[in-house]
Amino acid sequence: MDTGDGLLLFDAGNCGAEAMLIHSIWEMGFRPQDVKWIILSHGHVDHFGAAPFFRKMFGTKIYLGQPDAEMFRTAPEQSMIQESSSCMDMLFEADHEIEEGEILIFGNTSIQFYLVPGHTRGCISCFFNVTDGISVKRAGYYGGFGFNTLQKDFLLEIGDIKLEARKVYLNSIDKVISQKVDIFMGNHASNVNLLKKRQYMLEHPGKNPFLDSESWRNYLEQKKQELLDLEKSDNL
């Protein structure tokens, strides 16, 4: 995102994503060296993989939820949930550890942050205004929907014998589900049908399927129900 004072990147792909990200930034008409900040949705390697590269090459500042920054220090193996143990040496200290309710300024953009633990303890959700020069819309970003860290076997392995992380996940959704969101930003393409919507835009110039004031609430409600269904199946 162009903030008028540098580029802001949300997440940084898996380890090995450096060339892909740089090529994508060039393709969009920007320069990789102008990426001043990276906001990480959470502390799993498939989201922070290229962040250390950007910091080393361009001085990019890395922002991460405080509980996941603590996870890096005390339980780093949990950051490698995607079986990317070869990236273990890529763990880092964040330049800024995001706290609940913080409002941070990036160029011309003010972003409100909330911690939404569940997928990890330090998942973040954030909200900010964007404009096309004519109208102002509100974007919403949610930092982790996956159930791979909510499976019974995984939770028992890390000592969560009462499966409390599932309750935390549901409470986090309830915290932000009523936010007004015109543009829902997922941290995986599948969250928002990104590729399908992008293809629609190419086939229908002037139309923007990403402008959808219902998709935020609908998707969060869907994930709540899916987790409740998972709990039922575990109890059968």
pLDDT tens figures, 2-35: 999 999 999 998 888 899 999 999 999 999 999 9
Give the chain's domains with CATH numbers.
7-235 (3.60.15.10)
H or E element, residue 183: strand 183-185
pLDDT of amino acid 111: 98
What is the token pair recorded at 108? 């011309």
Residue 77, SS3 per DSSP: helix
Query: What pTM was computed for the model?
Result: 0.92
- Asked whether the beta carbons of 97 and 68 are under 8 A apart, the reply is no
Cα–Cα distance, 211 to 134 (Å, whole number): 14
CA distance 2 to 4: 6
Within 8 A by CB and 6+ apart from 100, the residues are: 113, 114, 115
Angle at 221 between CA 219 and CA 222, to 5 degrees: 60
β-pairing, 103-106 with 109-115? antiparallel
Work out the pLDDT band at 201, boundaries 50, 70, 90: confident
